[in-house]
Amino acid sequence: MSDCIFCKIIAKEIPGTIVYEDEYVVAFEDVNPQLPVHTLIVPREHYDHIGDDISPELLGKLFATVPLIAKMKGVDQTGYRVVVNTGEDGRQTVHHLHIHVLGGALMPIRMGPAD
Ligand code: DGP
């Protein structure tokens, strides 16, 4: 998608700190990290969100990348959180499916009442 910021990072049209890539998946550092480790895992192909008719195979490849990134970032032993914000209520702001991998400190965020 020509106006998608993550498609531009994947295509290397704009800068991004890419830490892993293969035929299906790209992982890069979040520009606005919420914790010491905050890496995003995205499919190369554009999907708006997790419900956007994505194949189980590709979903598998995306989620199989999570432990790879956790190990690469050194949080596989200490633990981490995996988040997929989806749609308006999920507070998704970039509409290219992405998995957040967050760690490196005790998680400050707990689910609570909506604000
Ligand atoms: P979400 O709320 O789940 O849609 O999170 C989108 C994340 O994407 C957010 O944590 C900030 C990050 N982000 C937004 N724009 C850019 C960008 O241009 N580059 C990078 N690396 N990350 C971005």
CATH of domain 5-103: 3.30.428.10
Q: CA–CA separation, 75 vs 95, rounded Å?
A: 27
Between the CA of 33 and the centroid of ligand 1 the distance, in Å, is 9
* Res 107: pLDDT: 85
Ligand 1 binding pocket (C-beta < 6 A) is 5, 9, 16, 28-32, 85, 91-94
Between the CA of 26 and the centroid of ligand 1 the distance, in Å, is 14
Structure tokens at 32: 């606005």
* Res 27: pLDDT: 98
* Res 1: pLDDT: 73
Q: How confident is the model at residue 114 (pLDDT cuts 50, 70, 90)?
A: low
Write out pLDDT tens, residues 67-92: 999 999 999 999 999 999 999 999 99
> Does 112 have pLDDT greater than 80?
no
* Res 115: pLDDT: 58
Write out pLDDT tens, residues 24-68: 999 999 999 999 999 999 999 999 999 999 999 999 999 999 999
> Does 10 have pLDDT greater than 70?
yes
Between the CA of 96 and the centroid of ligand 1 the distance, in Å, is 10
* Res 38: pLDDT: 97
- With tokens 């199989």, the residue in question is 64
Calculate the alpha carbon distances from 115 to 33, 88, 89, 107, 112 in Å.
22, 14, 11, 19, 9
